[in-house]
Amino acid sequence: MTEPFDFADELGPAKIIHLHEPRVGLRAILVVDNVATGPSIGGLRMASDVSLDECVRLARAMTLKNAAAGLPHGGGKSVIFGDPGMPQDQKERLLRTMASALRQEEDYIFGPDMGTNEQCMAWVLDEIGRAVGLPRELGGIPLDEIGATGWGVTHAAEIAAQHCDLALDGARIVVQGFGAVGKHAARFLTQRGAILVAASDSRGAIHDDGGLDVSALIKIKDEGGSVIDHGSGQKLDRDAVIDIDCEIWIPAARPDVINNENVTKLRTRMVIAGANIPSTPGAERYLHEHGVICVPDFIANAGGVICAAMEYQGATETAAMASIEEKIRRNTETVLDRARDHNVLPREAATALATERVQRAMRSRRHGLFSAAPGFI
Protein backbone atom coordinates (compact mmCIF):
# COMPACT_ATOMS: atom_id res chain seq x y z
CA MET A 1 0.00 0.00 0.00
CA THR A 2 1.19 3.51 -0.79
CA GLU A 3 2.05 5.57 2.28
CA PRO A 4 1.17 9.29 2.20
CA PHE A 5 4.79 10.46 1.94
CA ASP A 6 6.07 7.78 -0.44
CA PHE A 7 6.15 10.35 -3.24
CA ALA A 8 7.90 13.11 -1.30
CA ASP A 9 11.29 14.37 -2.42
CA GLU A 10 13.10 17.72 -2.34
CA LEU A 11 10.81 19.27 -4.99
CA GLY A 12 7.41 18.11 -3.82
CA PRO A 13 4.60 17.33 -3.93
CA ALA A 14 3.57 20.24 -1.75
CA LYS A 15 -0.05 19.12 -1.43
CA ILE A 16 -2.22 16.15 -2.26
CA ILE A 17 -5.96 16.63 -1.89
CA HIS A 18 -8.53 13.86 -2.22
CA LEU A 19 -12.06 14.97 -2.97
CA HIS A 20 -15.13 12.88 -2.28
CA GLU A 21 -18.73 14.03 -2.66
CA PRO A 22 -21.11 11.05 -2.71
CA ARG A 23 -24.16 13.14 -3.61
CA VAL A 24 -22.85 13.66 -7.16
CA GLY A 25 -20.46 10.68 -7.24
CA LEU A 26 -17.34 12.86 -7.24
CA ARG A 27 -13.99 11.16 -6.67
CA ALA A 28 -11.05 13.32 -7.62
CA ILE A 29 -7.48 14.15 -6.68
CA LEU A 30 -5.45 17.33 -6.89
CA VAL A 31 -1.66 17.22 -6.67
CA VAL A 32 0.11 20.55 -6.36
CA ASP A 33 3.71 19.56 -6.87
CA ASN A 34 5.71 22.77 -6.53
CA VAL A 35 4.73 26.43 -6.73
CA ALA A 36 8.10 28.10 -6.13
CA THR A 37 7.95 29.62 -9.63
CA GLY A 38 4.29 30.66 -9.34
CA PRO A 39 0.78 29.18 -9.16
CA SER A 40 0.72 25.79 -10.79
CA ILE A 41 -0.83 25.12 -14.19
CA GLY A 42 -1.72 21.57 -15.17
CA GLY A 43 -4.51 19.75 -16.89
CA LEU A 44 -7.53 18.03 -15.41
CA ARG A 45 -7.59 14.44 -16.69
CA MET A 46 -10.85 12.49 -16.66
CA ALA A 47 -10.82 8.71 -17.05
CA SER A 48 -12.22 5.69 -15.25
CA ASP A 49 -8.76 4.33 -14.47
CA VAL A 50 -6.82 7.41 -13.31
CA SER A 51 -4.76 7.00 -10.16
CA LEU A 52 -2.91 8.91 -7.48
CA ASP A 53 0.38 7.60 -8.83
CA GLU A 54 -0.39 8.89 -12.33
CA CYS A 55 -1.48 12.25 -10.95
CA VAL A 56 1.71 12.65 -8.92
CA ARG A 57 3.94 11.77 -11.92
CA LEU A 58 2.06 14.12 -14.23
CA ALA A 59 2.22 16.95 -11.68
CA ARG A 60 6.02 16.58 -11.48
CA ALA A 61 6.23 16.52 -15.27
CA MET A 62 4.39 19.86 -15.26
CA THR A 63 6.79 21.32 -12.66
CA LEU A 64 9.70 20.47 -14.95
CA LYS A 65 7.94 21.49 -18.17
CA ASN A 66 6.83 24.88 -16.83
CA ALA A 67 10.23 25.59 -15.26
CA ALA A 68 12.08 24.54 -18.41
CA ALA A 69 9.86 26.86 -20.45
CA GLY A 70 10.67 29.70 -18.03
CA LEU A 71 6.99 30.23 -17.18
CA PRO A 72 5.94 31.98 -13.95
CA HIS A 73 4.05 28.80 -13.04
CA GLY A 74 4.71 25.72 -10.99
CA GLY A 75 3.45 22.22 -11.66
CA GLY A 76 0.18 20.62 -10.65
CA LYS A 77 -2.29 18.14 -12.01
CA SER A 78 -5.76 16.92 -11.17
CA VAL A 79 -7.67 13.79 -12.03
CA ILE A 80 -11.32 12.91 -11.80
CA PHE A 81 -12.58 9.34 -11.83
CA GLY A 82 -15.27 8.75 -14.47
CA ASP A 83 -16.06 8.01 -18.08
CA PRO A 84 -15.39 11.21 -20.06
CA GLY A 85 -18.19 10.22 -22.44
CA MET A 86 -20.86 10.43 -19.69
CA PRO A 87 -23.94 12.62 -20.33
CA GLN A 88 -23.00 16.31 -20.46
CA ASP A 89 -25.24 17.37 -17.56
CA GLN A 90 -23.66 14.76 -15.29
CA LYS A 91 -20.16 15.78 -16.37
CA GLU A 92 -20.96 19.44 -15.78
CA ARG A 93 -22.23 18.65 -12.26
CA LEU A 94 -19.07 16.72 -11.41
CA LEU A 95 -16.74 19.40 -12.74
CA ARG A 96 -18.58 22.23 -11.06
CA THR A 97 -18.54 20.35 -7.74
CA MET A 98 -14.83 19.63 -8.07
CA ALA A 99 -14.01 23.23 -9.00
CA SER A 100 -16.11 24.53 -6.14
CA ALA A 101 -14.36 22.25 -3.65
CA LEU A 102 -11.02 23.63 -4.82
CA ARG A 103 -12.10 27.28 -4.85
CA GLN A 104 -9.55 28.22 -2.18
CA GLU A 105 -6.66 26.32 -3.80
CA GLU A 106 -5.31 29.36 -5.57
CA ASP A 107 -2.00 27.57 -6.14
CA TYR A 108 -3.69 25.53 -8.86
CA ILE A 109 -5.03 26.75 -12.21
CA PHE A 110 -7.17 24.22 -14.08
CA GLY A 111 -6.40 23.37 -17.70
CA PRO A 112 -7.76 20.78 -20.15
CA ASP A 113 -6.22 17.32 -20.59
CA MET A 114 -7.41 13.89 -21.73
CA GLY A 115 -11.16 13.64 -21.18
CA THR A 116 -11.73 17.38 -20.65
CA ASN A 117 -11.96 20.26 -23.11
CA GLU A 118 -12.66 23.98 -23.54
CA GLN A 119 -16.29 23.55 -22.47
CA CYS A 120 -15.17 21.90 -19.21
CA MET A 121 -12.82 24.82 -18.56
CA ALA A 122 -15.68 27.25 -19.20
CA TRP A 123 -17.67 25.56 -16.39
CA VAL A 124 -14.65 25.74 -14.06
CA LEU A 125 -14.12 29.42 -14.89
CA ASP A 126 -17.77 30.16 -14.26
CA GLU A 127 -17.57 28.38 -10.91
CA ILE A 128 -14.29 29.76 -9.49
CA GLY A 129 -12.85 32.26 -12.02
CA ARG A 130 -9.60 30.31 -12.53
CA ALA A 131 -8.95 28.20 -15.66
CA VAL A 132 -6.97 28.19 -18.91
CA GLY A 133 -7.67 26.49 -22.22
CA LEU A 134 -10.95 28.41 -22.50
CA PRO A 135 -13.25 28.81 -25.49
CA ARG A 136 -12.38 31.78 -27.72
CA GLU A 137 -15.49 33.74 -26.62
CA LEU A 138 -14.22 33.65 -23.02
CA GLY A 139 -10.77 34.97 -23.93
CA GLY A 140 -9.27 31.59 -24.77
CA ILE A 141 -6.67 30.83 -27.42
CA PRO A 142 -7.76 27.56 -29.10
CA LEU A 143 -4.35 25.89 -28.94
CA ASP A 144 -5.22 22.69 -30.81
CA GLU A 145 -6.95 24.61 -33.57
CA ILE A 146 -3.97 26.91 -34.14
CA GLY A 147 -1.42 24.13 -33.61
CA ALA A 148 0.47 25.63 -30.66
CA THR A 149 2.22 22.38 -29.72
CA GLY A 150 3.01 21.45 -33.34
CA TRP A 151 4.49 24.93 -33.78
CA GLY A 152 6.83 24.32 -30.85
CA VAL A 153 7.76 20.85 -32.14
CA THR A 154 8.68 22.48 -35.45
CA HIS A 155 11.08 24.90 -33.78
CA ALA A 156 12.64 22.13 -31.69
CA ALA A 157 13.19 20.19 -34.93
CA GLU A 158 14.72 23.20 -36.65
CA ILE A 159 17.26 23.73 -33.85
CA ALA A 160 18.04 20.00 -33.61
CA ALA A 161 18.59 19.94 -37.38
CA GLN A 162 21.14 22.74 -37.06
CA HIS A 163 22.94 20.65 -34.44
CA CYS A 164 23.51 17.84 -36.91
CA ASP A 165 24.04 20.02 -40.02
CA LEU A 166 20.78 18.94 -41.55
CA ALA A 167 18.75 21.23 -43.80
CA LEU A 168 15.01 21.16 -43.13
CA ASP A 169 14.48 21.81 -46.83
CA GLY A 170 14.18 18.31 -48.28
CA ALA A 171 14.32 16.53 -44.89
CA ARG A 172 11.98 13.53 -44.75
CA ILE A 173 9.61 13.36 -41.79
CA VAL A 174 7.47 10.60 -40.33
CA VAL A 175 4.60 11.48 -37.98
CA GLN A 176 3.29 8.77 -35.69
CA GLY A 177 -0.18 9.94 -34.59
CA PHE A 178 -1.65 12.44 -37.05
CA GLY A 179 -3.79 14.27 -34.47
CA ALA A 180 -3.81 17.76 -32.94
CA VAL A 181 -0.05 17.79 -32.39
CA GLY A 182 1.13 15.64 -35.30
CA LYS A 183 -0.84 17.24 -38.12
CA HIS A 184 0.25 20.78 -37.25
CA ALA A 185 3.89 19.72 -36.85
CA ALA A 186 3.64 18.20 -40.35
CA ARG A 187 2.00 21.36 -41.69
CA PHE A 188 4.62 23.77 -40.27
CA LEU A 189 7.59 21.55 -41.17
CA THR A 190 6.46 21.02 -44.76
CA GLN A 191 6.02 24.80 -45.05
CA ARG A 192 9.78 24.89 -44.37
CA GLY A 193 10.52 22.46 -47.19
CA ALA A 194 10.43 19.15 -45.31
CA ILE A 195 8.66 16.21 -46.95
CA LEU A 196 6.10 14.11 -45.06
CA VAL A 197 6.85 10.53 -46.16
CA ALA A 198 4.62 8.67 -43.70
CA ALA A 199 1.87 9.32 -41.18
CA SER A 200 -0.16 7.05 -38.94
CA ASP A 201 -3.22 7.15 -36.73
CA SER A 202 -5.05 4.57 -34.64
CA ARG A 203 -6.44 2.89 -37.79
CA GLY A 204 -3.29 2.51 -39.89
CA ALA A 205 -0.50 4.27 -41.73
CA ILE A 206 0.20 5.74 -45.15
CA HIS A 207 3.61 5.91 -46.82
CA ASP A 208 4.92 7.64 -49.92
CA ASP A 209 8.61 8.41 -50.43
CA GLY A 210 7.60 11.05 -52.98
CA GLY A 211 5.77 12.99 -50.24
CA LEU A 212 2.21 13.00 -48.93
CA ASP A 213 -0.22 15.89 -49.40
CA VAL A 214 -0.43 17.35 -45.87
CA SER A 215 -3.44 19.61 -46.53
CA ALA A 216 -5.39 16.70 -47.99
CA LEU A 217 -4.53 14.54 -44.96
CA ILE A 218 -5.57 17.26 -42.53
CA LYS A 219 -8.89 17.66 -44.36
CA ILE A 220 -9.53 13.91 -44.15
CA LYS A 221 -8.75 13.87 -40.42
CA ASP A 222 -10.85 16.98 -39.71
CA GLU A 223 -13.79 15.27 -41.41
CA GLY A 224 -13.42 12.28 -39.12
CA GLY A 225 -11.50 10.01 -41.52
CA SER A 226 -8.19 8.22 -41.21
CA VAL A 227 -4.83 8.78 -42.91
CA ILE A 228 -5.46 5.47 -44.71
CA ASP A 229 -8.33 7.14 -46.59
CA HIS A 230 -5.75 9.21 -48.48
CA GLY A 231 -6.01 8.39 -52.17
CA SER A 232 -2.34 7.88 -52.95
CA GLY A 233 0.60 6.17 -51.23
CA GLN A 234 0.95 2.73 -49.76
CA LYS A 235 -1.31 1.68 -46.88
CA LEU A 236 0.45 0.01 -43.97
CA ASP A 237 -0.30 -1.26 -40.48
CA ARG A 238 -0.16 1.57 -37.98
CA ASP A 239 3.04 0.31 -36.32
CA ALA A 240 4.89 -0.04 -39.62
CA VAL A 241 6.03 3.60 -39.48
CA ILE A 242 8.77 2.59 -37.04
CA ASP A 243 11.34 1.62 -39.70
CA ILE A 244 10.57 4.04 -42.49
CA ASP A 245 13.73 5.82 -43.58
CA CYS A 246 13.62 9.50 -42.63
CA GLU A 247 15.58 12.32 -41.03
CA ILE A 248 12.95 13.40 -38.46
CA TRP A 249 10.67 10.96 -36.63
CA ILE A 250 7.89 12.59 -34.62
CA PRO A 251 5.98 10.53 -32.05
CA ALA A 252 2.67 12.31 -31.44
CA ALA A 253 0.37 9.66 -30.00
CA ARG A 254 0.84 7.22 -27.13
CA PRO A 255 3.48 6.67 -24.42
CA ASP A 256 6.32 4.16 -24.85
CA VAL A 257 5.92 3.71 -28.62
CA ILE A 258 9.71 3.57 -28.95
CA ASN A 259 10.81 0.80 -26.66
CA ASN A 260 13.50 -1.82 -26.16
CA GLU A 261 11.81 -4.20 -28.61
CA ASN A 262 11.60 -1.86 -31.60
CA VAL A 263 14.23 0.85 -31.09
CA THR A 264 16.81 -0.90 -33.29
CA LYS A 265 14.41 -0.61 -36.23
CA LEU A 266 14.32 3.20 -36.27
CA ARG A 267 16.12 4.75 -39.24
CA THR A 268 16.20 8.44 -38.47
CA ARG A 269 18.63 11.15 -37.40
CA MET A 270 16.40 12.72 -34.79
CA VAL A 271 13.32 12.05 -32.69
CA ILE A 272 11.36 15.13 -31.68
CA ALA A 273 8.87 14.19 -28.96
CA GLY A 274 5.41 15.63 -29.62
CA ALA A 275 3.76 13.06 -27.34
CA ASN A 276 4.41 12.73 -23.62
CA ILE A 277 6.90 9.97 -22.64
CA PRO A 278 6.94 8.40 -26.13
CA SER A 279 10.20 6.49 -25.50
CA THR A 280 11.27 4.22 -22.69
CA PRO A 281 14.46 5.30 -20.88
CA GLY A 282 16.40 2.34 -22.32
CA ALA A 283 15.32 3.15 -25.88
CA GLU A 284 16.27 6.80 -25.46
CA ARG A 285 19.73 5.81 -24.24
CA TYR A 286 20.16 3.42 -27.17
CA LEU A 287 19.29 6.20 -29.64
CA HIS A 288 21.68 8.62 -27.96
CA GLU A 289 24.51 6.09 -28.11
CA HIS A 290 23.79 5.60 -31.82
CA GLY A 291 23.97 9.29 -32.63
CA VAL A 292 20.24 9.98 -32.91
CA ILE A 293 19.28 13.32 -31.35
CA CYS A 294 16.22 13.00 -29.07
CA VAL A 295 14.62 16.27 -27.99
CA PRO A 296 12.71 15.34 -24.83
CA ASP A 297 8.96 15.75 -24.55
CA PHE A 298 8.89 18.45 -21.88
CA ILE A 299 11.14 20.65 -24.01
CA ALA A 300 9.68 19.94 -27.48
CA ASN A 301 5.96 19.78 -26.63
CA ALA A 302 5.76 22.74 -24.22
CA GLY A 303 3.94 24.84 -26.84
CA GLY A 304 0.55 23.97 -25.39
CA VAL A 305 1.29 25.09 -21.85
CA ILE A 306 3.19 28.19 -23.02
CA CYS A 307 0.06 29.11 -24.99
CA ALA A 308 -2.11 28.46 -21.91
CA ALA A 309 0.14 30.63 -19.70
CA MET A 310 -0.01 33.43 -22.27
CA GLU A 311 -3.80 33.11 -22.38
CA TYR A 312 -3.88 33.46 -18.58
CA GLN A 313 -1.97 36.74 -18.92
CA GLY A 314 -4.49 37.95 -21.51
CA ALA A 315 -2.04 37.80 -24.44
CA THR A 316 -3.08 37.60 -28.08
CA GLU A 317 -2.69 34.53 -30.28
CA THR A 318 0.16 36.20 -32.20
CA ALA A 319 2.05 36.96 -28.99
CA ALA A 320 1.52 33.38 -27.78
CA MET A 321 2.96 31.90 -30.98
CA ALA A 322 5.95 34.27 -30.81
CA SER A 323 6.59 33.26 -27.21
CA ILE A 324 6.44 29.54 -28.07
CA GLU A 325 8.95 30.07 -30.87
CA GLU A 326 11.36 32.04 -28.71
CA LYS A 327 11.22 29.78 -25.66
CA ILE A 328 11.39 26.44 -27.44
CA ARG A 329 14.23 27.50 -29.74
CA ARG A 330 16.27 28.79 -26.80
CA ASN A 331 15.57 25.76 -24.59
CA THR A 332 16.30 23.21 -27.30
CA GLU A 333 19.58 24.97 -28.05
CA THR A 334 20.57 25.08 -24.37
CA VAL A 335 19.64 21.45 -23.76
CA LEU A 336 21.46 20.12 -26.82
CA ASP A 337 24.55 22.22 -26.04
CA ARG A 338 24.61 20.99 -22.45
CA ALA A 339 24.06 17.39 -23.51
CA ARG A 340 26.99 17.63 -25.92
CA ASP A 341 29.32 19.52 -23.53
CA HIS A 342 28.65 17.22 -20.55
CA ASN A 343 28.24 14.06 -22.59
CA VAL A 344 24.81 13.28 -21.13
CA LEU A 345 21.43 12.49 -22.67
CA PRO A 346 19.36 15.54 -23.70
CA ARG A 347 16.73 14.38 -21.20
CA GLU A 348 19.29 14.44 -18.39
CA ALA A 349 20.45 17.90 -19.46
CA ALA A 350 16.82 19.11 -19.63
CA THR A 351 15.93 17.68 -16.22
CA ALA A 352 19.00 19.31 -14.66
CA LEU A 353 18.16 22.65 -16.29
CA ALA A 354 14.55 22.59 -15.06
CA THR A 355 15.45 21.34 -11.58
CA GLU A 356 18.05 24.09 -11.15
CA ARG A 357 15.45 26.70 -12.10
CA VAL A 358 12.97 25.34 -9.55
CA GLN A 359 15.62 25.11 -6.83
CA ARG A 360 16.77 28.70 -7.49
CA ALA A 361 13.17 29.86 -7.17
CA MET A 362 12.74 27.82 -3.99
CA ARG A 363 15.72 29.55 -2.38
CA SER A 364 13.95 32.91 -2.64
CA ARG A 365 10.82 31.51 -0.97
CA ARG A 366 10.29 31.60 2.76
CA HIS A 367 8.62 28.18 2.67
CA GLY A 368 10.43 26.55 -0.23
CA LEU A 369 7.61 24.60 -1.87
CA PHE A 370 4.76 26.83 -0.75
CA SER A 371 4.01 30.43 -1.56
CA ALA A 372 3.54 32.82 1.35
CA ALA A 373 0.01 33.97 2.06
CA PRO A 374 -1.03 37.18 0.28
CA GLY A 375 -0.10 40.17 2.43
CA PHE A 376 2.53 38.21 4.37
CA ILE A 377 5.31 40.43 5.75
Shortest Cβ 289–ligand NAD spacing (Å): 25
The Cα 155–Cα 327 span in angstroms is 9
The Cα 41–Cα 131 span in angstroms is 9
Nearer to ligand NAD, 93 or 230 (CB): 230
Backbone angles phi, psi at 89, to 5 degrees: -65, -35
**Partners of residue 346 on adjacent β-strands:** none
Catalytic position from the list 77, 91, 183, 221: 77
Contact status, residue 71 vs residue 309, Cβ threshold 8 Å: yes
Shortest Cβ 241–ligand NAD spacing (Å): 8
Nearer to ligand NAD, 60 or 238 (CB): 238
* SS3 readout for the chain: CCCCCCCCCCCCCCEEEEEEECCCCEEEEEEEEECCCCCEEEEEEEECCCCHHHHHHHHHHHHHHHHHCCCCCCEEEEEEECCCCCCHHHHHHHHHHHHHHCCCCCCEEEEECCCCCHHHHHHHHHHHCCECCCCHHHCCCCHHHHCHHHHHHHHHHHHHHHHCCCCCCCCEEEEECCCHHHHHHHHHHHHCCCEEEEEEECCEEEECCCCCCHHHHHHHHHCCCCHHHCCCCEEECHHHHHHCCCCEEEECCCCCCECCCCHHHCCCCEEECCCCCCECHHHHHHHHHCCCEEECHHHHCCHHHHHHHHHHCCCCHHHHHHHHHHHHHHHHHHHHHHHHHHCCCHHHHHHHHHHHHHHHHHHCCCECCECCCCCCC
Among all residues, whose Cβ is closest to ligand NAD?
179
Shortest Cβ 336–ligand NAD spacing (Å): 20
The residues that touch ligand NAD, with contacts defined as CB under 6 A, are: 143-144, 149, 176-182, 200-202, 238, 252-254, 274-276, 301, 304
What is the strand order of the sheet 15-21 is part of?
15-21, 26-34, 75-81, 40-47, 108-112
Nearer to ligand NAD, 190 or 301 (CB): 301
Nearer to ligand NAD, 185 or 339 (CB): 185
Shortest Cβ 187–ligand NAD spacing (Å): 13
Nearer to ligand NAD, 253 or 270 (CB): 253
Shortest Cβ 255–ligand NAD spacing (Å): 7
Shortest Cβ 3–ligand NAD spacing (Å): 29
Nearer to ligand NAD, 16 or 199 (CB): 199
Nearer to ligand NAD, 13 or 115 (CB): 115
Q: Is 77 a catalytic residue?
A: yes
Angle at 299 between CA 176 and CA 331, to 5 degrees: 135
Shortest Cβ 205–ligand NAD spacing (Å): 7
The residues assigned a catalytic role are 77
